[in-house]
Each structure stands twice: as structure tokens, then as C-alpha cells.
Amino acid sequence: MSARRGYSSDLTDAPWALIEPLLPEPNTDGRRERHSRREIVKAILYVVRSGCPWRHLPADLPSWQTVSWYFIRWEEAGVTDELLATLRIRARV
């Protein structure tokens, strides 16, 4: 696969530095993650920003099934609420 295009929803290093420590540790059972956490977050933000369905993610992002799986797990674990609360506080400071 060729290098990924940039999208307006992509994170720069500064916001990623705020988000990365809030994400749960990967449960890989000794296996290496297929996609980086940053790519997963970029894909979630693409869906949020564009309003497209999961199935319409561009081919240069992780598969929609993978991205949806992470989003659902993080939502169930309260990760997204924690992220939003932390970013809201940071934005108000």
C-alpha cells in the first residue's frame, strides 16, 4: 500500500501527545498490533469529522471493522468520555 494521504481530521503531534496517554494499553497477547493507535484515532476522527458511515472509510486507513471494534471497546470502557473531559478542561485553560 502506498503512503497514506493526509486528511483535515488528522492529528498533529501536540494533540496526539495529549490523547495517547489516555488510551488503554493494548491487549495483544504477545502479538504485535497490526495498526498503530494513532492510525485508529485518525480513522475515528475521520468518521466524526466527515459524518461518513464506518464502511466508507478510505482504503488507506485501517479497515472499518477494526476501527469500529476499537471505538466500541473504548466507548464501553469509558475511554471516550475521559478523552473528551480531559480535552475540554485543556481547551478551557
Domain ranges of the chain: 36-92
Is a pLDDT exceeding 60 seen at residue 2?
no
Over residues 4-24, mean pLDDT: 85
Residues 56-93: pLDDT tens digits? 999 999 999 999 999 999 999 999 999 889 888 888 87
pLDDT bucket at 7, cuts 50 / 70 / 90: confident
The mean of the pLDDT values for the chain is: 87
Distance set, CA 83 to CA 5, 30, 32, 59 (Å): 26, 27, 25, 26
Q: What is the pTM of this model?
A: 0.84
